[in-house]
Structure 1
Amino acid sequence: MRVGFSTIEFSYFVPVMEDKKRILLIGGPGSGKTTLIQHMESQGLLVHHEISRQVILEAQEKGIDQLFLTDPLAFSNSLLAGRINQFNNAVSGLNFYDRGIPDVPAYHVFTGDPIPDDYLAACNEYIYDMVFLLPPWKEIYQSDNERYETFEQAQTISDILKEFYERFNYKPIVIPKGTIEERYSFLISQIND
């Protein structure tokens, strides 16, 4: 499935240098991001965790089984607010993020929902220093209570994410499939280049 971007206007950015470096990991569901993030934490790196599971669980506690499906805008608004908060809570040094602000409108491309202007404005305002993409990986993919997409949908989401980030002038670096140690070493080597 190919999704067009002809109705979306994008702006390009010039990064502002600070003592904080924001490094983002993106990819479709089940690509191994969480496992890599956990390994990164075990190595002492600062990680800002994915918040969508938290948003989903909070909605389920209120009796809403799948907020993403029943009220996508409320789900997206919660995600965007949480990710902006994470961005603003960066500390000096390296900050790693499991998903970023542009993921929110990119998922609207996947669902076909309109993208509010303030989502695109947030993508232009809050800029990450590096973006790494973990590609779809069928052998490790699993669905669960919060991950209800099929593997084929996960592949489509990954393609949309990559194209969406590129439209904002990011150049996602693909992390090759491999052991956790190999993926971690690749990530660190790219940051240190």
Structure 2
Amino acid sequence: MPKRYIITGAPGTGKTSLIQALQANGHQCFSEISRKIILEQQQIKSDKTPWGDLPCFANLVYQETVRELQIPIEKNIFVDRGLPDIIAYLKAKSHPIPEYLLDFPFKTHYVSTVFLMSPWEEIYINDPQRPQSYQEALHIHQCLVQVYQNFKFTIEVVPKTTLTKRVDFIQSFI
């Protein structure tokens, strides 16, 4: 059964650029659900964001991700973030983790190898959907590593190099 490769990392690590480059190379990819939800919440002036009402935001992301996981796929694809990211964000802010996340069958939907984009200060920029400081990004990174390790994923750290070399690195695993 085809599964999803997770590309994860703290805010501002180049995940979206990498997903776009993988798409340009002919790979099927799903874009980041959380950014879409942040934009929607900002448009309606809601605080259901990672820096506002994080538990409500996490629930919205969970619901939308579960819907996306129901979309049939014919071959392995790439996703910009996976459900374990929600746990890491909640953990980073010391929020309780809902049971439905702790009990989720991650390995049913995701390949056990996760591609981790490390914080990279030289490319880090803020925008209206990414107001976190670089220091906050470092903390989120640590939480992501911890969560993916706890769920027994194999973490492959994507090197800090050109976009083309990052794509080549990931393609060497598939």
Shorter-chain TM band: over 0.9
1:107 match: 89
Structure 1 residue identity aligned to 2:30? H
Q: Give the distance between the partners of 2:132 and 2:161, measured in 1 at CA.
A: 23
Identity, in percent, stands at 35
1:23 match: 5
2:157 match: 174
Select which of 32, 35, 51 maps to 2:14: 32
Q: Per-residue deviation at 1:37?
A: 0.6
Q: Per-residue deviation at 1:71?
A: 1.7
RMSD: 1.5
Give me the TM-score of the superposition, normalised by structure 2.
0.93
Q: Give the distance between the partners of 1:98 and 1:177, measured in 2 at CA.
A: 18
> Does the aligned pair in 1 maintain the 2:87–2:101 contact within 8 Å?
yes
Q: Give the distance between the partners of 1:32 and 1:90, measured in 2 at CA.
A: 27
- Aligned residue runs from structure 1 range 25-104, under 5 A: 25-64=7-46, 67-104=49-86
Q: Per-residue deviation at 1:88?
A: 2.2
Could you say which structure has the larger radius of gyration? 1
Structure 1 residue identity aligned to 2:147? F
- Aligned residue runs from structure 1 range 104-143, under 5 A: 104-122=86-104, 124=106, 126-129=108-111, 130-143=113-126
Q: Give the distance between the partners of 1:64 and 1:123, measured in 2 at CA.
A: 30
> Does the aligned pair in 2 maintain the 1:46–1:96 contact within 8 Å?
yes
Q: Per-residue deviation at 1:69?
A: 3.0
Structure 2 residue identity aligned to 1:156? H
Structure 1 residue identity aligned to 2:132? E
Secondary structure of 2:144's partner? helix
Give me the TM-score of the superposition, normalised by structure 1.
0.84
Secondary structure of 2:169's partner? helix
> Does the aligned pair in 1 maintain the 2:9–2:15 contact within 8 Å?
yes
Flag structure 1 segments of 5+ consecutive residues without an equivalent.
1-17
Q: Give the distance between the partners of 1:174 and 1:82, measured in 2 at CA.
A: 27
Q: Give the distance between the partners of 1:160 and 1:126, measured in 2 at CA.
A: 22
